[in-house]
Amino acid sequence: MPDRSILRARAPGRIDFGGGGTDVAPYCEEYHGFVVNGAINYYAYATLEPRDDEEVHLVAVDMGKSESAISCDALSLDGDLSLIKACIKRVGPQRGFKLTTYSDVLAGSGLSSSAAVAVVTCAICTQFKEGTFDQAAAAHLASCAERDDLNHWTGKQDQFAAAMGGISFLEFVGDDVLCERAALADHTIRQLEKNLLLVFTGEAHLAGDIHLDILADYRDGTGTVLEGMHGLKEVGLQMRTALRQGDLKAFAALLNDNWRYHQLLHPSCWTHSLQRFIDTGLANGALGAKVCGAGGGGCVVYYAEDNKKPSLERALAALGGRVLPFSFDGFGTVVW
């Protein structure tokens, strides 16, 4: 029999299909953002074992890191486990515990591994403290821990994908998030899973550096950031319509539009390697392609012409790409 006092949880990674970046301030405060994303079956996991004292013991298995403190309040927001510690302090459990985490969301992939870890930490600690948790509240807590406590310039689309699951239409109005789970036809979901292809390029992205570069140019007002943001938002809005109508050729074309606008945000979003993956994909059966996350590396997602996915996989593998098979996660963060 399992020990019912031990809690376990998982939160999924995500693919951002359209509008990514418009969820970040100050754009979402001044113009409102819109993002289409989908949670996928790669997860951050957490196990919480209660203790009889106030001590907090942390083990990040995949990072090979561990840390302990005499209490939750005594955790310092530094080091490799800073995000996990910030999330714990946001929730504020009053009893001691051991928290073990690991993730199969590939680090540096642009699939939101850090947000998944943050959300699963907030959810399991809230369940431990209060006996229940709310998915949207866990997303907000994780975002505040990263943005306000660690001073990382970030939006909320990653956290909401991890928390809510499914394919989502997300509107960002300042600090508020309006989350609509996309009620797509079954055949649309099946066709997306059949023809979408996710490939890791072998180069990790550097989201933090890119985000700071974009913010600096946005505030300076002399570059193409605002034009890019407006274009990305429009892509997200049009993508919602295409998916609702089951028009996946239009969806694929919008992936291309998203990549075109993405490159206007900052030169560091683009690399020769990423463009080679994009061009090779479009020449070998992909109708649309875009980089996942902030860019500079990570994964590329493709929508293949029907029955062209196997040849597309071979062409991208020849470049050194690593195919990441996936399906959509329909549950979001769960604790058991």
Query: Which residues are the active-site residues?
Result: 158
The HSE-up count of residue 31 (CA atoms within 13 Å, CB side) is 18
Query: Any residues with CB less than 8 A from the CB of 242 and at least 6 apart, and which?
Result: 248, 250, 251, 254
Tell me the pairing of strands 33-50 and 7-18. antiparallel
Torsion of CA 88, 23, 36, 244, to 10 degrees: 120
Is 295 buried (19+), middle (13-18) or exposed (0-12) by CB count in 10 A? buried
Query: Any residues with CB less than 8 A from the CB of 153 and at least 6 apart, and which?
Result: 24, 25, 147, 211, 212, 215
Other CB atoms within 10 A of residue 250 CB: 16
Tell me the pairing of strands 322-323 and 286-291. unpaired
Strand segments, DSSP code E, in the chain are: 7-18, 33-50, 56-60, 65-69, 97-103, 167-173, 176-181, 196-200, 286-291, 299-304, 322-323, 334-335
Q: State the helix-helix crossing angle for 135-144 and 82-91, rounded to 10 degrees.
A: 120
Decide if 10 contacts 57 (C-beta within 8 A). Answer: no
